[in-house]
Amino acid sequence: MLILGIESSCDETAAAVVEDGVHIRSSVVSSQVSTHAIYGGVVPELASRMHLEVIGPVVDQALFQAGIGLNDIDGVAATQGPGLIGALLVGFSYAKALAWARHLPLAGVNHLEAHICSLQLLDCPPQFPFICLVVSGGHTNIYYVNEPGAFTLMGQTRDDAAGEAFDKVAKMMGLSYPGGPAIEALAKKGDPKKIKFPRSMLGKDNFDFSFSGLKSAVARHLHENSGMNDDQSAHVAAGFQLAVIDVLSAKLIAAARKKNCVCIGIAGGVSANRTFVENLAQRAERHRINVFSPPLSLCGDNAAMVAARGWEMIRDNQICRLDGDVYSRVKF
Ligand code: KG4
Ligand code: ZN
């Protein structure tokens, strides 16, 4: 079964064709990052307008690269939420129109569940049940994934998302947007043990996170040490990054042990951070737990993961009505 996936929840317009939920036939991502970079963050109105300009060509390109036409598609899947309403509306309305015109089933995909499903596109995916962290600019959620499509939220951030903390700290340090890759690159030149930043919520017996205290601690450090040289900045980046990684890794391993899982998956933009993946994998190995993370092309927002989740939904007859609407937040 061939599913056309469409993603437009934030600042990437993406389309992909996935076969039977696991084989990527094509995956096209048009990023707006350079447009938003000068503002230091995503400007929602600009994002919607740019989605509108490129959605048609991006879908055409995905079909072309897959070597198929619209007649070959068996279903359409589009991100329904959470995300920016104006941005979501572009991809979701496009998908609805296609589904209506071609009499195809439509899946309204939850963006966070799609990130989890990016792991099933791996050659060697995690075994069920597994623990999965969705860690991006908007979310830091730990799920227990018992079987395909069964996602139980175990914990989440109480304030900033981990990616948001990377972006804000990068901004304070005068680094480029998005902040994650910039901090990771700078941190490689620093000593992560030189400056010890707080590890919030680590002692707590739950799976929630908090990153705003860490962000304030970095701000305080920068304020008290103005005029730092390059080496000192690198130590700040490395110290901050390790504080985030320590908390994420500890909570993930604790969640896996509690649920007797031998697999941990990480997905979303921050899973592109190789220092995090390696640190987590080393720590997990001591508990005989394996770590799974997507290739870089599937860490950030993409439509292959949307098609993968949509395939499960269409198979399970979870079809979205054509008067279904987009949503900005998920209520748990
Ligand atoms: O999943 P994503 O592309 O979009 C959202 O749904 O938010 O995630 C974007 C986030 C940004 O906050 C960005 O700074 C972060 O992922 N990110 C990283 C890295 N690459 C991207 N954070 C840490 N290290 C990275 N290498
Ligand atoms: Zn995302």
Q: What is the pLDDT of residues 244-273, one digit of tens each?
A: 999 999 999 999 999 999 999 999 999 999
Residue-by-residue DSSP string for 217-268:
HHHHHHHHT-S--HHHHHHHHHHHHHHHHHHHHHHHHHHHHHTT-SEEEEES
Please work out whether the CB of residue 273 comes within 6 Å of at least one atom of ligand 1: yes
31, 166, 271, 273, best to mutate for ligand 1 pocket (most atoms within 8 Å of CB): 166
CA of 163 to the centre of ligand 1 (A): 5
Beta strands at 130-135 and 263-267: parallel, antiparallel or unpaired: parallel
Shortest-distance ligand to the CA of residue 112: 2
Give the length of the chain: 332
Largest CA distance in the chain: 63
Q: For the chain, which residues score pLDDT lower than 50? A: none
Torsion angle of the four alpha carbons 247, 252, 255, 256, in this order, in degrees rounded to the nearest 10: -150
Torsional sign, CA 31, 36, 40, 45: negative
CA of 324 to the centre of ligand 2 (A): 21
CA of 68 to the centre of ligand 1 (A): 32
Domain coordinates of the chain in residue numbers?
A: 2-116+299-315, 125-293
Tokens of 143: 């799920």
Shortest-distance ligand to the CA of residue 79: 2
Smallest CA-to-CA distance from 320 within 6, 1, 2 is with: 6
Q: Which residues contact 90 (CB under 8 A, 6 or more apart)?
A: 8, 13, 48, 51, 52, 55
CA of 151 to the centre of ligand 2 (A): 17
Q: How many Cβ atoms are within 10 Å of 120's Cβ, its own excluded?
A: 19
- The residue whose C-alpha atom lies closest to atom 13 belonging to ligand 1 is 180
Please work out whether the CB of residue 181 comes within 6 Å of at least one atom of ligand 1: yes
Q: Quick check: 308 and 21 in contact, CB under 8 A?
A: yes
Tokens of 162: 């981990």
Please work out whether the CB of residue 10 comes within 6 Å of at least one atom of ligand 1: yes
Determine the residue type at 59: V
CA of 313 to the centre of ligand 1 (A): 26
Position 40 scores a pLDDT of 85
Please work out whether the CB of residue 91 comes within 6 Å of at least one atom of ligand 1: no
Position 332 scores a pLDDT of 54
- Measure the CA–CA gap between 141 and 296, rounded to whole angstroms: 20
Distances (CA, A) of 320 to 47, 96, 184, 310, 325: 25, 9, 40, 10, 9
Q: What is the CATH number of domain 125-293?
A: 3.30.420.40
- Measure the CA–CA gap between 275 and 219, rounded to whole angstroms: 23
CA of 133 to the centre of ligand 1 (A): 13
Shortest-distance ligand to the CA of residue 29: 1
Position 205 scores a pLDDT of 81
Please work out whether the CB of residue 32 comes within 6 Å of at least one atom of ligand 1: no
Please work out whether the CB of residue 82 comes within 6 Å of at least one atom of ligand 1: no
CA of 223 to the centre of ligand 2 (A): 32
CA of 194 to the centre of ligand 2 (A): 32
Whether residue 126 is preceded by a cis peptide bond, meaning omega within 30 degrees of 0, is no
Q: Which residues contact 179 (CB under 8 A, 6 or more apart)?
A: 166, 167, 168, 169, 170, 171
Please work out whether the CB of residue 294 comes within 6 Å of at least one atom of ligand 1: no
pLDDT digits 0-9 by tens, 43-102: 999 999 999 999 999 999 999 999 999 999 999 999 999 999 999 999 999 999 999 999
Tokens of 13: 């317009």
- Going edge to edge, which strands form the sheet with 130-135? 150-156, 140-147, 130-135, 263-267, 290-292
- The residue whose C-alpha atom lies closest to atom 7 belonging to ligand 1 is 137
Domain covering 2-116+299-315 assigned CATH 3.40.50.1100 in the classification:
no
Is pTM beyond 0.85? Reply is yes
Q: Quick check: 87 and 47 in contact, CB under 8 A?
A: yes
Atom of ligand 1 minimally distant from the CA of 161: 12
Q: Quick check: 132 and 264 in contact, CB under 8 A?
A: yes
